Chains A and B, each alone.
Chain A
Amino acid sequence: MADTINALSNETIPWWRNRRVIPLLVQAVVALVVLIMIAFLLGNLVRNLTAAGLLLSWRWLNQPAGFDISETVLPFNAGLPYWRALLAGLVNTIRAVLVGLVGATVLGTLAGMASFSRNGLLRGIARVYVELIRNIPLLLQLVFWYFVVFLSLPNGTAAIQLPGLVLAKSGLYLAGFADGLRWVGPQLVNDVWQAPLRLSVEFGALLTGLIVYSGAFIAEVVRGGVAAVPKGQWEAAASLGISWITTLRTIVLPQALRVIVPGLNTQYISLAKNSSLAVAVGYTDLYSVAETTLNQTGRAVEVYLLLLSAYLVLDLFISVLMNGVNHLVQIKER
């Protein structure tokens, strides 16, 4: 049928009105424009980089970094090469993202659930939390947490001390096992707190900011998901004498999750990307290390390629993970 129409039109309609030619033409023009632009930009890039003596090279990755990183999961010192520094930064980012994800999910779920509470006050607090936090920029919240809240903590002997836990201006110190199986609490050595487990205030500020901010968005996702479950489900469960919490856990949540999980995916990815704001509170994440590296080596283009691909991979990883979870929670068709 289509062929006959086209055959007809080929005889009677000029080519510029041919329904088969136009799309090809449009695409060709767009492709041409894009290609010219890319060629133009790349040409300039190569010319400018050659002029500056900075043509793409990756050898610098193996040179010693020369700077220290204060808080790393992977051991790092100034003598190790740049790629180890970047890796340490990446691991620091992943650490912040992982803890942030868990924290934000817990906080968000609690706040989302609270907006269905029978207690009006609790509902109000959940509402205020969401509306307050979502309308204030994350960066502002981060610097607030760091420069206002955490840096006004007491220091040294005046620090907040609980059994096995010390909260000081320099960080949170927790008791734990050291040198094998010896239980060691935080202690003040030479005016500096020491403990087996230590979280710096920079990490603390970043985490608090990320958790509180993402928590508000996740609360909305959870609330939307639960609200999408028909009211009849609640009423039916209540009429069967099932308690509120059991209803929520066994009847409502499994249905709500199908709506919630895709929304969570978006929030998780934006949390991962927002972790790059760590640079504002002095936590050495991937972005911060990359910026220092760029500055010490001058390899702007290479460092940016690495940085952008690292974040893309991180996002992709979260997406794949959440797609897996999504599969698990979807209705099994029988």
Chain B
Amino acid sequence: MQVRWPLVVLLTGLLGGCAADSGSGVQSQKMSTITQRGKLVCGVDGKLPGFSFVGSDGRYSGLDVDICKAMAASLFGDPEKVEFRDLNSSERFAALASGEVDMLSRNTTMTLSRDAAGGNGLSFAPTVFYDGQGVMTPAVSGIKTLKDLAGKPICVESGTTTELNLADRMRELGVAYTPLKFQTGDQTYSAYLGGRCVAVTSDRSQLAAKRSAFPSPAQHTLLPEVLSKEPLTPATTNADPAWADALRWTVYALMQAEELGITKANVAAKLSEAKGNKNLADLRRFLGVEGDFGRQLGLPSDFVVKVVGAVGNYGEIFDRNVGLGSALRLDRGINRQWKDGGLIYSPPFR
């Protein structure tokens, strides 16, 4: 028995490798693993209202969560076939690289070194939230600019881009400061609210989200300065390009759907409209009535219908979770569609 079990493991591994998706002609180890498992494992923050948060009913909600659900809908036609896994900022990349999670939708900033094969080796999907780093201080502290923070302790979550940006900006300004680093957001904000630091720094959306849950949000102000660009982006690894493509175009589909005015409510109507009218070539291709875009990605041909039917388009996701329809009430800002002067832009589906 002792001799045999590694062999069994070895054989199972080999078989698993051989059984790669044979249906669609797309070779993706990851996608066949996910299909076999029957659910997507998605790494999220889990403690960030508006992005990923567990409600008192034990259900996840938020913008990042909806991206995971969209991907599950894209793969299985069912947005609930996803398991969420809360990850620290400091363990997220290791968890992704080791295959612990299939994808990361965890308010992660896209950067060169994280993307590069010689760096973290991630593969980024389109940015779903363009953000910038901000600093929050108690209103009574009288701190108005970054320079006022000289010599003061600043709380920051370790392993984030904000940690690095803070170091850069403070070096530029020539301001000495004390970074207090914590492993998790919980500890970081506990220390801030406990008065251990006079400021906490993170993405402005995250600060707004956390502040909205504080006992007295009005007592905390965001400094006007924006320290950096923080494009928050879902990611997979370089190891499986086909899987990365599937995620990329699922996210684009959300954006394209908004551009085409397809919503959760009208997607069925749009589909029958496309089926009935052969002249609507763009819409027919997009909704999978014509062509084989879905199959080219290794997804069902009507993945767009499934995705939009499950979570709505990008605009709906934004409004529902962080926009005017939510507790955060963030302005669309640069996260508007390109036609409205924003940065949300999907390449053509053709």
Contact = CB atoms under 8 A, between A and B. Distances in A.
Direct contact of A and B (CB under 8 A): yes
Interface of A: 29, 32-33, 36-37, 40, 44, 48, 51-54, 66-71, 77-79, 147, 151-152, 155, 169-170, 189-192, 194, 201-202, 279-280, 282, 284, 288, 291-292, 294-298, 300
A118 B314 CA distance: 76
Contact of B151 (A52, A190, A298): A190
B121 A53 contact: yes
A197 B179 CA distance: 18
Nearest to B153: A170
A169 B178 CA distance: 14
Nearest to B178: A70
Given A29-B2, A67-B163, 9 more contacts: A40-B10, A53-B121, A66-B168, A78-B167, A191-B152, A282-B182, A288-B181, A292-B90, A295-B159
When A and B form their complex, which 8 residue pairs have the shortest distance between CB atoms, in order from nearest?
A295-B159, A298-B120, A53-B117, A78-B167, A51-B239, A151-B194, A53-B121, A70-B178
Contact of B6 (A37, A54, A291, A292): A37
Nearest to B160: A295
B187 A282 contact: yes
A79 B171 contact: yes
Given A298-B93, A298-B119, A68 B167 contact: yes
Contacts of B52: none
Nearest to B111: A296
Interface in B179-216: 179-183, 187, 190-191, 194-196, 198
Nearest to A151: B194
Given A155-B195, A288-B181, A300 B98 contact: yes
A69 B180 CA distance: 8
B117 A67 contact: no
B158 A288 contact: yes
B118 A67 contact: no
Contacts of A67: 158, 163-164, 167, 179
A128 to B, nearest CB: 29
Nearest to A30: B2
Given A33-B2, A67-B164, A298-B93, A282 B98 contact: no
A152 B193 CA distance: 11
B346 interface: no
A296 B164 contact: yes
Contacts of A151: 191, 194-196
6 contacts: A44-B13, A67-B179, A151-B195, A292-B181, A295-B159, A300-B94
A108 to B, nearest CB: 30
Contacts, number: 129
A297 B120 contact: yes
Nearest to B117: A53
Interface bin, chain B:
35 or more
Contacts of A284: 181
A52 B121 contact: yes
B159 A291 contact: yes
Interface string B144-170: 000000111100001100011011101
B151 A282 contact: no
Interface in B118-148: 118-121
Given A40-B6, A66-B168, A67-B164, A280 B196 contact: no
Given A53-B121, A192-B152, A298 B179 contact: no
B238 interface: yes
Contact of A33 (B3, B91, B159): B3
B26 interface: no
Nearest to B92: A295
Contact of B167 (A66, A190, A291): A66
Contacts of B152: 191-192
A205 B10 CA distance: 48
B186 to A, nearest CB: 10
A68 B121 contact: no
B89 interface: yes
B97 interface: yes
B102 to A, nearest CB: 14
Contact of B150 (A66, A69, A190, A288): A190
A53 B238 CA distance: 8
B91 to A, nearest CB: 8
B237 interface: yes
Given A53-B117, A70-B180, A294-B94, A40 B164 contact: no
